[in-house]
Each structure stands twice: as C-alpha cells, then as structure tokens.
Structure 1
Amino acid sequence: MVCTKKFESYFNRLNVDPQQLSLILVEEIQKKHIAEFCFNSLAVLLGRPISLDIEDIIGKFVLQNQGGYCFEHNKLIHDALDALGFSVRCLIAKMINNQDIDSPRTHRICLLEWQNEQYLIDVGLGANCPRKPIKIEAGLMSIQNDSSYRIVVNSNQDFQLELATGNGFFSLYTFNLNRYTEADCIMSNFYSSKHPDAVFVNNLVMSRILPEVTLSLRNDQYHRIGINHTDVIQISDYLQLQKIIKQDFDIELSEDESKTLYLKTCT
C-alpha cells in the first residue's frame, strides 16, 4: 500500500516503507517514532501556540524537528495509521500516576482495531512510553525490552495501564473506550497548555526512547536510563541546559529561551 502524499515526509523520516499492513508495521512505526521525535513541554513553557492541525504538526515534527506532547504525538500517529488504512480512533485518558485521584482527561492515546482485537497505542507518554502496541486484555502482560506493562480493570470499571517496577505495579493512567472527537482533544489540549495547575505549565519535561537508552529530563534533573545503569546529571545553569537539549534532544534553543526555561523550572 502506498501512503498518502501528506505523510510521505513522516514515513521517510522514520525510514519506514508501509507497503503491507500488519501489526509488525505498527510496532516499527511506534518504536521509530519515539526514538526520532522528542516528547517535550517546550512550547507550553515558552508561550508558543500549539496547533492540533495535522499539517502544522507534520511541519513542527518533521521539518522543524521540535517535537511536542501527547496531543501532537498521538494525533500524528493516529492520522498516519488512518491514512494507511488501519482502523484507529482517539481516546482521552486520565493521568493518575499511582494515585487514587479524580484527574481531568488530559492525555490523548490511540485505539487500534486489528483482526478482531483491540490495541492501545501511545507515543506521547514521555519516558514511560510503550515501544509497541499493548493488547487490551485484562491482566495480560506486555513485555517490551526492559519494561513490562499490563492493562487491568479498576473498581470504576475503567481500563488502567500499569507499568511493572521493582516495587510492584505503577498505575499510569485510566481510560475507557467511549467515543471522543477532535473537539474533545482541543478542549483537553487547552487545559494542558493553559491551566495554572497543569503539569506542563509548571514543569520542563523532555524524553526520547532510543533502542539502548531512555533520555529523560525533568526540570533540573537529567537521567540517561540504560538497561543496567542510570546516569543522573544535575543541571546547574541555563547554558548546561541549552547544551543538553541540543546535543541529546537535537533541538536548538536560543540563550534567552534556555534562560527562560531554567528560571521557570530549575530554580
């Protein structure tokens, strides 16, 4: 199958040739996407507009190499898979981060239906991103490199994505299979980028998931997470922050932008 013209630059950037629809193809796209495109909250913190128009997202990711957060990442993979002929639709989850809280729906994810089975796809979860589709079957473990995930049904009868850790399972978010539209995403995106209590309004978050290492920056703490070892770097000034963002995340920021980020989130 030949992909539509709109997404040629996206698939070329990932070095993917989507000729035959398969779950293996989706896994390849997912793995390469989270390695190639940086997850980050830069636009929120720097006061840049965040468009959910697919042409703008392609330009921002593929041409400008700026990356973004869940509403952009998962919109991009959703529309790309849809253009190839996959059956996909958007869902909006509630981030709970292992807490028993009633949080707003602020996390866009993707539902894939393939050969009478349903799969969760998420390329916008930062450093905890799955590397491949997770079958939506309660209790089934999905082992992915050095990480393991499962989906359970919680007491509210919602699905709950959990990540295995040394201290048991960590609950990442809850979701259901209700119908959501782009209008719902626009509302949730507005909250995530503008509300004074929103995570990305108050925190610098960046990540890339490479085959052998996960790069994770949160405010003044930078982690390079390998399979057997994690390096932790304490960021002490805005020039160091600027250098890390350029060298490891391949994003060019001016000194003024770097100083703004540092003063907002690292002091």
Structure 2
Amino acid sequence: MTAVYTPDQLEAYLQRIKYANSTSKTGAEHPRLQQLQQFIQEDALAALTELQRRHLGSIPWGNSAIHYSQHHSISTHPSAVFEKLVVRRLDGYCMENTNLLYVVLRSLGYQAYPGAGRVSKTPANPNVIGADVRYAPLGHMVLIVTINQRRYMVDVGFGNNVPTRPLPLEENTITRNIAPTEMRLIKESLPESVDQSQKAWIYQIRFSTESDWIPIYAFTEMEFLPQDFAMMNFSTSKGSTSWFTQAVVCVQLLLDEAEGELQGLYILAGKEVKRRIHGNTEVVQTLQDEEDRVKALEKWFGMRLLDHEVAGIVGLGTEMK
C-alpha cells in the first residue's frame, strides 16, 4: 500500500517549499494545502509545475548524509525522507527528493508512480556521443504522472541539469530548462542493448541552439516498487565504485520569485562553491578545510549540521584537510 502524508505533513511540506507564502485570512487549519487543492482542481498540470519548480528552488540535492553522519547511510522510507528534507531542512539525492515529491503527489490525489533510470556517462565526457554512449546501472528515480490521459516525466532529484518542469512523454518536444539551456525527450534503443527493438526514453539537454544534444539519462515507463529502490539505494550509497561515496556534492537551484522561473544554481563540489546564473558561472567561495565546507553548506544551502554529524566525516577519504 502506497504511503501517504497527513494534512499536517503536507502543510509543512508546502511551507518548506514556500508555496502560497501569504497568511490565510480565513483562519483555515491548512491554508496552503487548501489553496493547492483548489489549484489542482482548476489546473492539475499548472499546479504540478508549480510544485516541481518550488521544490527544486527550496530543497537541496546532495549526499551529505553519506559523509556527515554517524551511520553513513541513506533511508528511502517516506517518514525518514520527510524528517530529513522537510523537518531538518537537509539535502537528499534522487531516491529522497523525488521520493518525497512522489508521496506528496499521491497524497494529493495525482495518478503517479515511480520509474527507474540509467545515468549517461556522456556529461563527464561530452565527446562520447552516438553509438559510443554508455549508461550506468539502474540508479536514478523519476516519476510518471498522468494528467488528462497524458503522461509526463517529473524529476526533482538530479541536481545539475535536472528537468525543471513536467516533460510530456512525446518525442522531440523542446522545452526551456534554465535559460539558455533547453531540454527534450527522444525515444531510442540503448547502444549497449542486444535487442535493438527495445527502446527507452532519453532525457537530453543542450546549452544553446547551436550546441549538440547531450544524453543525461534513460528511463522506461515500467513501474518500480519501493523494494527495488531500496536495492538501488544500497548500491548507490554504499558501493565502493559509486561516486556518491567518493565526493561531497550539493546543489541548490535558485528561483526568481518575480519571474516565477528557475534562473540558476549554487553548486558545492571539490573545494569550490560556484554560482551559475543563466549560463554564467562564477566561484563565490573557495574552501580550505572542513570548517569552511560545513559553514558553506549552511550559508549557501541552508543546511545546519549537528556536531555528531560533522564529526562523522573524520577519517573518511572525503574529509577536507
């Protein structure tokens, strides 16, 4: 049975993503939730788009718990995800952030289910395209949402280059991501597949109308179950070859409230925090040691780690010395 969040939890989530931030004059117990429910009845797709945009602009994507904790593990249980991302206001990767949105959508009555994806290796080496493209094992979570008999792919758990609005499952419908970047879906077989008649949806981006399309990840419309993601999550968060265990990374997208659009992001990787606005990147902080990184996580990403969490990185290969 699919987990659901209570009205109190949904109201807390909406407050977390700054949805309908004005106070209600009616004295309603859950003013944001009531406003959202009315919006969904009027235009479910527009409401979903707003939720995705605000989620991305409020909740960081990252892997801090793998490094800054005593347990060095990730839970995909809906209650644990809610506590971490909404109550503690920390970061999470795909099987946390997208999992949170999934339970929210189901709780609101959306017809949605989770699917799994394979991340392309091309972004790390943009020269590898076409028949030479290779994909990692299944390890990414997306949502398939049906509205008025039309299916959309929704994702809030990919960090940099994440889709910023619901993408209809239609080939080559080009949509703006964060300007000037564009995004689309195409459907084709994976180069590594023996049976080339089997095709997958490929999420692609391009940084300008003159640049090549880059495959970001592939997914199918098959529904995956919580126990499937538990297995994927174990590999992603514990595997010695998983890059999530080898580096601390955090991304926070920036929402322009006046324009109502996502305009850029902060990204912490290595010894730098960078800010990218409409394709222009600058270094806003250079990190010297662990104290710098912990303070940067709070300053730029709104994450306040507890003392025992900070102490958890001591002795790990990712500790900054």
Determine if the TM-score, normalized by the shorter chain, exceeds 0.5: yes
User: Unpaired segments of 5 or more residues in structure 2?
Assistant: 1-5, 20-34, 123-127, 191-198, 256-262
* Whole-Å separation in 2 of the counterparts to 1:155 and 1:194: 30
Deviations 1:83-118 (CA, angstroms, capped at 9, x unpaired): 111110000100113252242110011111111111
Structure 2 equivalent of residue 43 of structure 1: 65
Secondary structure in 2 matching 1:168: coil
Residue 221 (structure 1) aligned to one of 272, 294, 298: 272
Secondary structure in 1 matching 2:175: strand
Secondary structure in 2 matching 1:92: strand
- Richer in helix (by share): 1
Secondary structure in 2 matching 1:66: coil
Question: Judging changes above 3 Å, is the alpha-carbon distance between structure 1 residues 228 and 104 closer, same or farther for their aligned structure 2 residues?
Answer: closer
Structure 1 equivalent of residue 36 of structure 2: 18
Question: Judging changes above 3 Å, is the alpha-carbon distance between structure 1 residues 148 and 87 closer, same or farther for their aligned structure 2 residues?
Answer: same
* Whole-Å separation in 2 of the counterparts to 1:49 and 1:256: 14
Question: Judging changes above 3 Å, is the alpha-carbon distance between structure 1 residues 94 and 265 closer, same or farther for their aligned structure 2 residues?
Answer: farther
Q: Does 1:150 align with 2:184?
A: yes
Deviations 1:131-164 (CA, angstroms, capped at 9, x unpaired): 2111111111011341311111123311110011
2:183 aligned partner, one-letter code: Y
Question: Judging changes above 3 Å, is the alpha-carbon distance between structure 1 residues 265 and 199 closer, same or farther for their aligned structure 2 residues?
Answer: farther
Q: Does 1:160 align with 2:206?
A: no
Q: CA deviation at 1:12?
A: 2.5
Q: CA deviation at 1:8?
A: 2.2
* Whole-Å separation in 1 of the counterparts to 2:188 and 2:276: 30
* Whole-Å separation in 1 of the counterparts to 2:310 and 2:134: 37
Structure 1 equivalent of residue 109 of structure 2: 85
Q: CA deviation at 1:37?
A: 0.8
Secondary structure in 2 matching 1:18: helix
Secondary structure in 2 matching 1:179: coil
Identity across matched positions, percent: 20
Query: 144-153 or 26-35, which moves further after superposition?
Result: 144-153
* Whole-Å separation in 2 of the counterparts to 1:259 and 1:59: 21
Query: 3-12 or 37-46, which moves further after superposition?
Result: 3-12
Q: Compute the TM-score of the two structures, normalised by the length of structure 2.
A: 0.76
User: Unpaired segments of 5 or more residues in structure 1?
Assistant: none
Q: Compute the TM-score of the two structures, normalised by the length of structure 1.
A: 0.91
Question: Judging changes above 3 Å, is the alpha-carbon distance between structure 1 residues 163 and 258 closer, same or farther for their aligned structure 2 residues?
Answer: farther
Secondary structure in 2 matching 1:153: strand
Larger radius of gyration: 2
Deviations 1:34-92 (CA, angstroms, capped at 9, x unpaired): 11111111111234332222111111111111121110101110110111111100001
| Residue correspondence of structure 1 range 1-267 to structure 2 within 5 A | 4-16=7-19, 17-19=35-37, 20-21=39-40, 22-46=44-68, 47-98=71-122, 100-146=133-179, 147-156=181-190, 157-166=199-208, 167-211=211-255, 212-227=263-278, 229-232=280-283, 233-253=285-305, 254=307, 256-257=310-311, 260=314, 264=318
Q: CA deviation at 1:33?
A: 0.7
